[in-house]
Every structure is written in C-alpha cells, then in structure tokens.
Structure 1
Amino acid sequence: MSTETSGQLASIIIDHHDSLLERWIAGMLSHLVRRDRSAEEAIRQQASRFLPLLAETTKNGQIQDIEAANWAEARHLLTEICQARVRQGFSSIETAMFMFSLKEPLFGHLRVALGNDAHKLAEQTVATSALFDKLGLFTIEVYQKTRELVIQRQQQELLELSTPVVQLWQNVLALPLIGTLDSARTQVVMENLLQKIVDTGAAIAIIDITGVPTVDTLVAQHLLKTVAAARLMGADCIISGIRPQIAQTIVHLGVNLEDVTTKATLADAFIVALQRTGSSISHAHHGK
C-alpha cells in the first residue's frame, strides 16, 4: 500500500470518525449471539479506543506489514481486546468481526471519496481489504492462544480439585482417587500428597482407589511412583479399594505390590493406619 493510499485511509477515518464508529458498532452488534448491555458497552469502549489508534497508525504509510514496529501499539490493544473478549464469553467469530465489521463502512466512504477515479478506488479497496484481513486473522490467532491458556488453567484447577488430600487422624492422611489416573494427574497427586505430608508431618497416607474404574499397568506404575515418593518423605502408604476384579488384574499384569499394604476398603486401611501410629478408637457404651 502506497503512502498516498494509506494517507487516504487515515483521512477518511479522521474526517468521518463518528459515522464510521456508529456503523462499525452496529455491524458488530448484528453478529452478536448474546445481546446485553454489558456486551454492547464493551464493544463500544473497545471500538472507541481502537479507531483513533488505527487512524494514527495508518498515517505514515507503513501498513503493508502489521508486524512492523509502527503497529506495536495497535497490536497491543488488539491483544488486550481479544483477551478481554475471551473472559467476557465472546466467540471466535464475534471476536474476528471486530475487524471485519469495519470493512463495509470504510468501503462506503471510499466510494464517495474516490468515485470519480476507478483506478484509485480499486487500488484503495484491495489494499484496505488486505489490511483488515490481516488484522482479522491476528485477532483470531490471539483469541485462540488466549482460549487455550484458559482451558489449560481450568484443566489444572480441575486436576487439583479432583485430588484432595484430607487428614483423617493425627499422622494419617487419605487421598481418595476418582476417575482415570494418567501421567498428568499422577504428577498433581504426588505434589499434593507430598506437600500435605510436609505440612502435617503425617506418617501414614491411605491412597483409596475405590473410584478408579480400571487399573492397568500404567495406573499401577503411577500408584507405585506415588508410594515411593511418599516413602522418601518419611510416610508409608496403604492402598485401599482393591476390589476382586482389580486384584485379579494386578496379578494378571504381574505388578509387584508385595511391599505395599493393600486393603479392600478405606475403613480397613484406616484401622491398620491407627494400629501403626499407636492410636485406637474406643466405643462408648451408654446405659439406660
């Protein structure tokens, strides 16, 4: 895009700022799936901030490459807007329309300004369209990266929530596992358990797998790694929830659990833990 062409674009944005802004906002609102006051206000604020910056950026003619230094501030603002839209619940299409919706209003003003020069009109239209396509693709890329980070953070939070370590008794911890035990979750399990051992000084940790649907070689290896890590921190482990079918599977797989205490239920494991720590529970008998 030539300096003259980009200067024409900047002039149109400056001279017709208000009408461009209103038509741009109307175009974005027409593509909204969820219309409410907060979404509309967010769109208006974002457009009002970006339009003057777009005019300033396109003044000097260096707009063939939006990765160039003169586009740094515009890229930063677009990134900020995309990240905000992820948090506000906008879709990727609604986010991309932030740039694409500005095309038609601009083309309308270009036709009025350059209607007598077909060659310049065609040149300006093609160049402007290419610019906004690049900006639109940039918003989609930023939106996707931001969304991926949000999903990763949510998955991490879910992993942490799904592996609670609770203190059953003095020196006795319990880690009830529910669902599939994969490598990522095993890491979270170990980190949470070891931190709790450090915090409480517990001597026994009961790992309950009643809620684990299947135990294969990989799951068994993950369990053994967790047991080994706990032992290094000075705590012994008891694995509870060993159902008949799981016991058969472990034997069939040839997994060595000989040096690990296993029990059928959490209650049985708790009794063993109390015995090892020198504690006991007495039943009070009340007379009539």
Structure 2
Amino acid sequence: MSLNTSKLLQKHKKNILEIWMNNQLSDDGLREDLISNDDLRSQSEELISALVKNLTSDDLTDLEAESWYPVIEILGGIAITRARQGFSPRETGRFVNTLKEALLEVLQREISDGKQLFAESLKINRVMDNLSIITFETFIKGREEVILRQTDEISEISTPVIRVWDGILALPIIGTLDSSRTQIVMENLLQEIVETGSIIAILDISGVPAVDSLVAQHLIKTVAATRLMGAECIISGIRPEIAQTVVHLGIDLSNIITKASLASALSHAFRILKLEVRKTNSINKL
C-alpha cells in the first residue's frame, strides 16, 4: 500500500469509524440484545485504531508478521467474546465486512485516479478477507469451547446420585452412555458412596435408548468400581428389548443383579438390608 494511501486512512480514521458504525447500526441483523451500542463503538474504535496503524506495512499479505499481532489479538478477543455471547457466524462475519465497506468507501471518495483506486482497493480486499478468515476460525474455536462446556454441564446434571433410603443410592442414567460419561457416572457414584456410607447402589438404565457391547462394558466397569468401594450394585430398567440385545450379543451379566424396574430394584435392596415396608390403614391428618 502506498504511503499516501496509508496516511489518507490514518487521516480519515474518525470518518472511517463513523461510516463503519452507521453500517453496523443500520444492519437488520444488529443484536442490540447481546451488545450495547457503546460497547460496539468501543470494540470498533479499538480495532480500527490498530488496523489503520498496521496498514502502513509494505507486506500486507503476511498477517503472521509481528506488527499484526495487536490486530489479530483484538479481533480474536472480539470473536471469542461473540461466540460466548451467542452471536451467529454470519453476525460476526458482518462485523468485519462492514469495516471493509467503510474502508473502501473512504478510498473511493479520496482517490480520483482509477488505476490507483483499483490497486489500493485490491490490497484492502485481500487484507480484510484474510482477517475475515481469522475471525471465523477463532469464532469456531470459541463456539466449540462453549459446546464442550455445555456438554460437560449437561452430563453433570443428567447423572444425579439420589439417596433414596438410608444406605441405598440410586443413579438414573438418561441418554447414551459413552466413555467420558461413564467416568463422570463412576466419579459421582463413588464419591456419594464415600460421603453417605451407602452399601447398595442402583443404576437405573430405563432412560438409555439402547444397550450395545460398549455400553455393557461401561456398566460392568461401573459395577466393578462400586464393589471395590464395598457396595453392592443393582442394575434396573432392563426392558425386554434390552434383554434380547444383551443375550444376542453374548454379554455376560450373570454375576450382576438386574431388575426390570427401579421399584423392583428398591424392593430387592430392602431385602438385602433386611428392611420391611408395610402399608398402614390409618392416615395422619394435619
């Protein structure tokens, strides 16, 4: 980029900012529910200041140069923040594209020579397109981090250990049981066994859509870990289709207590603890 053009953009930095802000505020997709106009202006001003400063570089295609670090860092921070706030890829992409439109508009106003305008506009397009790619890549990484965190939170919520009776724990499993989730299930269950001193744990799999050899192995590992802690484990929720699948796959669950329902498992746990539940005819009235 020529020195004159670089000085031109620096000179008109405030004008570029205003055009860019107008472009953003007039966009039908503006998310005022996610970011205030003041915060939007603050982000825009910080980025445009760093960008115009680095447009003085002779090699505008090498965005890995040290001089571009401030721009990449600011843009990356904005992309990560927007990913966490819930912006869509399109909305984040428009943030950069509207800046490119503002830069090109100022060049068209200030450069009268057609050849120079074409050459300088081409350079701006290349720079901003590369920055758009960086923004998108960083945004995707941020969104993946959000998804992974939410997945972990959902896994924690969906594997609650319930103390159903003194000495008896129940853990209803809902959804697919994979390796990572099995680890969470075991950690939560073993920790609760230690804290409560329970000697019976019921794993209810009535909410598991299907049981294959891998899921069965995960269940066997959980049962083994529970027994090492001195507690007996009962698997409940064995539906007819699951029983057929287990037999068809040749999975050996003969050394594990299995029951068709959580109620049956709880009744069996009572017998192990030599507890008896009786129904009384009288009802206490408040």
Normalised to the residue count of structure 2, the TM-score between the two structures is: 0.88
Kept in 2: contact 1:11–1:55 (CA 8 A): no
Q: 1:139, CA displacement in angstroms?
A: 0.6
Q: 1:19, CA displacement in angstroms?
A: 2.0
1:52 maps onto 2:49 in alignment: yes
Kept in 1: contact 2:17–2:48 (CA 8 A): yes
Which blocks of at least 5 consecutive residues in structure 1 are unaligned?
none
**Residue 166 of structure 1 corresponds to which residue in structure 2?**
162
CA–CA distance in 2 between the matches of 1:155 and 1:147? 12
Q: 1:174, CA displacement in angstroms?
A: 0.4
Residues 169-178 or 38-47, more deviating: 38-47
Distance 1:287 1:79, change over 3 A: closer
AA matched with 2:83: V
CA–CA distance in 2 between the matches of 1:15 and 1:134? 24
Q: 1:245, CA displacement in angstroms?
A: 3.3
Q: Percent identity?
A: 44
> What do the CA deviations read for 1:76-104 (whole angstroms, capped 9, x no partner)?
11111111212332211221122221223
**Residue 182 of structure 1 corresponds to which residue in structure 2?**
178
AA matched with 2:96: M
Aligned length: 283
Aligned equivalent of 1:102, options 99, 103, 119:
99
Q: 1:38, CA displacement in angstroms?
A: 5.3
* Within-5 A mapping of 1:11-26: 11-26=7-22
* Within-5 A mapping of 1:45-124: 45-61=42-58, 63-116=60-113, 118-124=114-120
CA–CA distance in 1 between the matches of 2:222 and 2:33? 51
CA–CA distance in 2 between the matches of 1:234 and 1:11? 77
Kept in 1: contact 2:13–2:52 (CA 8 A): no
AA matched with 1:243: R
Q: 1:177, CA displacement in angstroms?
A: 1.5
Normalised to the residue count of structure 1, the TM-score between the two structures is: 0.87
Distance 1:9 1:218, change over 3 A: same
AA matched with 2:71: A
**Residue 150 of structure 1 corresponds to which residue in structure 2?**
146
User: Cα RMSD over matched residues?
Assistant: 2.4
AA matched with 1:271: S
AA matched with 1:173: L
CA–CA distance in 1 between the matches of 2:207 and 2:173? 6
Kept in 1: contact 2:84–2:142 (CA 8 A): no
**Residue 124 of structure 2 corresponds to which residue in structure 1?**
128
Which blocks of at least 5 consecutive residues in structure 2 are unaligned?
none
Q: 1:247, CA displacement in angstroms?
A: 2.5
Q: 1:285, CA displacement in angstroms?
A: 5.1
1:231 maps onto 2:227 in alignment: yes
CA–CA distance in 1 between the matches of 2:266 and 2:215? 23
Describe the SS at the equivalent of 2:35: helix
Describe the SS at the equivalent of 1:168: strand
AA matched with 2:270: L
CA–CA distance in 1 between the matches of 2:80 and 2:15? 27
Distance 1:168 1:251, change over 3 A: same
CA–CA distance in 2 between the matches of 1:37 and 1:251? 55
**Residue 29 of structure 1 corresponds to which residue in structure 2?**
25
**Residue 240 of structure 1 corresponds to which residue in structure 2?**
236
